[in-house]
């Protein structure tokens, strides 16, 4: 099950395609482009965003697998390269890798204006399906009024936490299945 999911790669390719097209045919001053109908425009930070996401995966991979060699030329191949370079490692490091890739998939979705990507996960605190994305805080917020901290403030979660939970659940489901 580890490494079967190519959602993150596909989303990065969408971002790449949008940015490339935008560079060639971008309207006006070419500083923004709309990805999905009704979605917020992609700003010039998209290129930097993609670079830093890929750099994170490369740095992590080369740290845990020093023999990984150079990163692939095509940014979107970095996920496949990371998996191939670390597939010999124990389950622990592989789960860490998958959580990073999954989190980046969520980040790519949000970069494209797709906040529904967050809603499809249960709250790590109460298990309800009431998470929504609060962009300013860069955290997912739980709508369950009983899901709060001791001061009564609604529970909020980072994408990293949601990704860890998702990957852990996948892993335990696959262990039960075998």
- Would you call 148 helix, strand, or coil by DSSP? strand
Size of the site for Zn ion (CB under 5 A): 7
CA dist., res. 14 & res. 110, Å (int): 12
CB neighbours of residue 22 within 10 Å: 21
Q: In the complex with Zn ion, which residue's Cβ is closer, 147 or 162?
A: 147
Among residues 39, 44, 63, 126, which is the contact residue for Zn ion, using CB under 5 A?
126
Binding track, positions 139-168, relative to Zn ion; x by CB under 5 A? ---x-x--x-------x-------------
CB of 138 to Zn ion, least distance (A): 18
- Identify whether the C-beta of residue 142 lies closer than 8 Å to the C-beta of residue 154: yes
Locus of tokens 């830093």: 52
Pick the closer one to Zn ion by CB: 46 or 155.
Answer: 155
In the set 123, 141, 162, 163, which binds Zn ion (CB under 5 A)? 123
Residues 6 or more apart whose CB falls under 8 angstroms from that of 58 comprise 71, 78, 82
Which residue ranges make up the site for Zn ion (CB under 5 A)?
123, 125-126, 142, 144, 147, 155
């Amino acid at each position: 099950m580890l490494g079967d999911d190519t959602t993150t790669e596909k989303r990065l390719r969408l971002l790449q395609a949008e940015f490339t097209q935008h560079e060639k045919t971008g309207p006006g001053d070419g500083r923004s482009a709309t990805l999905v109908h009704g979605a917020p425009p992609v700003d010039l930070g998209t290129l930097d965003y993609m670079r830093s996401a890929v750099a994170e995966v490369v740095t992590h991979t080369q740290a845990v697998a020093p023999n990984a060699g150079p990163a692939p030329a095509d940014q979107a191949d970095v996920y496949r390269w990371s998996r191939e370079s670390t597939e010999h490692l124990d389950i622990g490091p592989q789960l860490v890798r998958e959580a990073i890739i999954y989190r980046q998939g969520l980040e790519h979705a949000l970069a494209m204006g797709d906040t529904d990507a967050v809603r499809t996960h249960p709250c790590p605190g109460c298990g309800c399906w009431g998470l929504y994305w609060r962009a300013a805080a860069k955290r997912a917020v739980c709508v369950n009024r009983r899901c709060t901290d001791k001061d009564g403030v609604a529970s909020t979660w980072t994408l990293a936490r949601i990704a860890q939970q998702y990957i852990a659940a996948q892993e335990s489901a696959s262990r039960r299945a075998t």
